[in-house]
Homo-oligomer: A and B are copies of this chain.
Amino acid sequence: MQDSTATNARDAGRAAQRAAEARPVRIAIDAMGGDHGPEVVIPGAAMALQRHPQMRFVIYGDAAQVEPLLDGHPALKAASAFTHTDVSIKMDEKPSQALRLGRYKSSMWRAIQAVRDDEADACLSAGNTGALMAMSMFCLKTMPQVERPAIAAIWPTVRGESIVLDVGASIGADASHYVNLAVLGAAMARIVFDMERPGVGLLNVGREEIKGIEAVKEAGRTLREANLPNLDYRGFVEGDDIGKGTVDVVVTEGFTGNIALKTAEGTAKQIGEYLRSAMGRTWRAKLGYLLARPAFDALRAKMDPSRANGGVFLGLEGVVIKSHGGADVKGVAAAIDIAYDMAHYQLMRTIRDMLDETPIATAS
């Protein structure tokens, strides 16, 4: 994969990266996204700034709502450039509608545009996923070697964390898209887990080579034969392997990935409800609960979705992070931490390098 487009893209990326290394990480924020808007996003940014005091922000949103909040967080205000925007994308807006209403002028678009114009190294929005992806594709463009962008989630496992992608951007996939997803996920894993050769599995209905969808089987053969330097292909994994942490990166297409993610979230909530109801049923259980309270709190923190908040859009010419719409202040801060890591540890450069090293026919 050494055609001129890829090489130019890589060189451009490296040049941008060299420039980026000289300055602090800059995050563009869509303050108007999410169920709670600036009330949660601004304090979330303030919390993230405490952890990375050298971070800088460019913030977009409605001045009447955002400015009073910034006044309440002077450290954040000092580290930020704020721009008023008239249009906010609603959570239930269709992507096409969002593009029509919000292109060029919404807080969401402007945050993405800041990445495109190199005014920020990554952007964050808690707004509606479909609109954010549509605008990101329109504004930043998809990388030349990538068919369609994907959304990657960081998934807590019994061994730590894994990356699961795609959790909802692309519906359906052919073999080359699965291979793309594997490379994108491995690049992200290098950064998130700081490992040279992450273990990658293709999600399937059985471990045997003969099982499953033809495109998955073909992608498996391609990855096995390619034996890539930065991607340790481990074969098929099943649904229960995700929580076990069998591999560092679990690859599937967006329909199945989205349903797997939401099914796991639903199951965790369901068990939480069982547990609450079991612990409140008798005095003995209530007393036991009180004694074991710190353990329960630790468990709750471990199951807390805000810990792993932040879907990473992969395959675009820039870093876009989607915070959960219902995220609280801690959740938004966690998503900004992810944005920081992706920018600081050079996700774009890693992806470009790995795509260049992949001797596999991909989209062009």
With A242-B263, A264-B267 given, is the CB distance from A288 to B295 under 8 Å? yes
Contact present for B303 and A292 (CB under 8 Å) = no
Give the chain B neighbours of A267 by CB distance below 8 A. Answer: 243, 263-264, 267-268, 271
Q: Does A19 contact B (CB under 8 A)?
A: no
Give the chain B neighbours of A212 by CB distance below 8 A. Answer: 171, 255
Nearest CB in chain B: distance from A20 CB, A: 34
Nearest CB in chain B: distance from A136 CB, A: 18
Those of A248-282 within 8 Å (CB) of chain B: 252, 254-256, 258-271, 273-275, 278-279, 281-282
How far is A212 from B262 in the complex, measured between Cα atoms in Å? 15
Nearest CB in chain B: distance from A128 CB, A: 11
Contact present for A243 and B259 (CB under 8 Å) = no
Nearest CB in chain B: distance from A244 CB, A: 6
B-binding segment of A23-31, A74-82, A103-111, A233-241: A233-241
Give the chain B neighbours of A239 by CB distance below 8 A. Answer: 258-266
Contact present for B263 and A243 (CB under 8 Å) = yes
Q: Does A172 contact B (CB under 8 A)?
A: yes
Contact present for B292 and A172 (CB under 8 Å) = no
Q: Does A64 contact B (CB under 8 A)?
A: no
Give the chain B neighbours of A279 by CB distance below 8 A. Answer: 292, 295
Q: Does A12 contact B (CB under 8 A)?
A: no
Q: Does A16 contact B (CB under 8 A)?
A: no
Other-chain contact of A266, B243, B255, B296 (Cβ < 8 Å):
B243
Contact present for A269 and B292 (CB under 8 Å) = no
Number of interface residues of A (CB under 8 A): 61
How far is A178 from B26 in the complex, measured between Cα atoms in Å? 48
Give the chain B neighbours of A15 by CB distance below 8 A. Answer: none
How far is A287 from B239 in the complex, measured between Cα atoms in Å? 35
Those of A272-320 within 8 Å (CB) of chain B: 273-275, 278-279, 281-282, 284-285, 287-296, 298-299, 302-303
Taking CB as reference atom, which chain B residue is nearest A262? B239
Q: Does A213 contact B (CB under 8 A)?
A: yes
Q: Does A321 contact B (CB under 8 A)?
A: no
With A157-B270, A168-B205, A296-B278 given, is the CB distance from A240 to B255 under 8 Å? no
Other-chain contact of A242, B94, B255, B266 (Cβ < 8 Å):
B266
Q: Does A22 contact B (CB under 8 A)?
A: no
With A171-B213, A212-B171 given, is the CB distance from A263 to B288 under 8 Å? no
Q: Does A247 contact B (CB under 8 A)?
A: no
Give the chain B neighbours of A284 by CB distance below 8 A. Answer: 291-292, 294-295
How far is A282 from B263 in the complex, measured between Cα atoms in Å? 32
Nearest CB in chain B: distance from A207 CB, A: 10
How far is A278 from B243 in the complex, measured between Cα atoms in Å? 17
Contact present for A205 and B254 (CB under 8 Å) = yes
Q: Does A361 contact B (CB under 8 A)?
A: no
Contact present for B244 and A266 (CB under 8 Å) = yes
Nearest CB in chain B: distance from A134 CB, A: 13
Task: Give A residues with C-beta under 8 Å from B.
Answer: 94, 156-158, 168, 171-172, 203, 205, 208, 210, 212-213, 238-244, 252, 254-256, 258-271, 273-275, 278-279, 281-282, 284-285, 287-296, 298-299, 302-303
Chosen A-B contacts, 7 in total, with CB atoms closer than 8 Å, are A168-B205, A205-B254, A238-B259, A239-B263, A240-B263, A242-B266, A244-B270
